[in-house]
Amino acid sequence: MVAPNIVFRQFDVAGTSPSGERAQDTHASFVKQLGTTTDTELDYGINNITSSGINSATKVVVGHMDSSGDLTTELFNMKFWLPSTAAFNDGTSRYNWEKIIVWEQNKVIDNGSAEVVPTTLPSSGNILRQDGSGVITGSGDAEVTQYIYMSVFTDTDISVGLKGGAGENTFRYRLTADYY
């Protein structure tokens, strides 16, 4: 059995709404398709935690079914989570997120305004299609996930150094779903 392939596309949170082109890389706000190799990872940049904890810059992504595999009807029960946060196990961190249907240019996600991304597989779906439906049935723009805005809070007790990175498997987001 061949599972559907879901890819994530990152868009510039300061850019204009990519609605209508979320399943493509043609919009001016498109940054990159995310993956597990160098230059395809979601890069939160540098956080200076010398004097206090800080939230990273906000990033925004959408999930999109790149190929349907053996899917005959729909992808459903979509669960977005963090299977590995080992890169931050030496101190205080928080993985913020907010899922919304409508693009919010320059949105800021921080500890006071966001939920925490689950670090264990949720028992039920926690991410929807862009129109609020719980299923994805194809690969067009109407069949992408909600906008997923994210940031990472790191406190002063986190050790200095690179966290995560291509192939490290120490800080990774995952979308788990059912299909038939």
pLDDT in tens, 39-69: 888 988 888 888 889 999 999 999 999 888 8
Separation CA 42–CA 34 (nearest Å): 6
Matching residue, tokens 């999930």: 63
pLDDT tens digits for 162-176?
Answer: 777 766 767 889 999
> Do 130 and 65 meet the contact criterion of CB atoms below 8 Å apart?
no
- The predicted model gives 141-157 an average pLDDT of 94
Q: Quote the pLDDT of residue 47.
A: 84
Percent of the chain clearing pLDDT 90 (strictly above) = 61
Q: How many CB atoms lie within 10 A of CB 57?
A: 16
Q: Quote the pLDDT of residue 167.
A: 64
Q: How confident is the model at residue 146 (pLDDT cuts 50, 70, 90)?
A: very high
Separation CA 95–CA 46 (nearest Å): 16
Residue 139 burial class via C-beta count within 10 angstroms: exposed 0-12, middle 13-18, buried 19 and up: middle
Separation CA 41–CA 57 (nearest Å): 15
24's CB contacts (< 8 A; 6+ apart) are 30, 141
**C-alpha 108: how far from chain center:** 15
Q: How far is CA 145 from CA 66, 87, 176, 179, in A?
A: 12, 27, 13, 15
pLDDT tens digits for 66-110?
Answer: 888 888 889 999 999 999 888 888 889 999 999 999 999 999 998
Q: What is the mean pLDDT of the chain?
A: 91
The top-scoring range by mean pLDDT among 63-72, 106-115, 125-134 is 125-134
Q: Quote the pLDDT of residue 163.
A: 78
Nearest residue to 102 (alpha-carbon basis) of 128, 82, 80: 128
Percent of the chain clearing pLDDT 70 (strictly above) = 98
Separation CA 142–CA 56 (nearest Å): 30
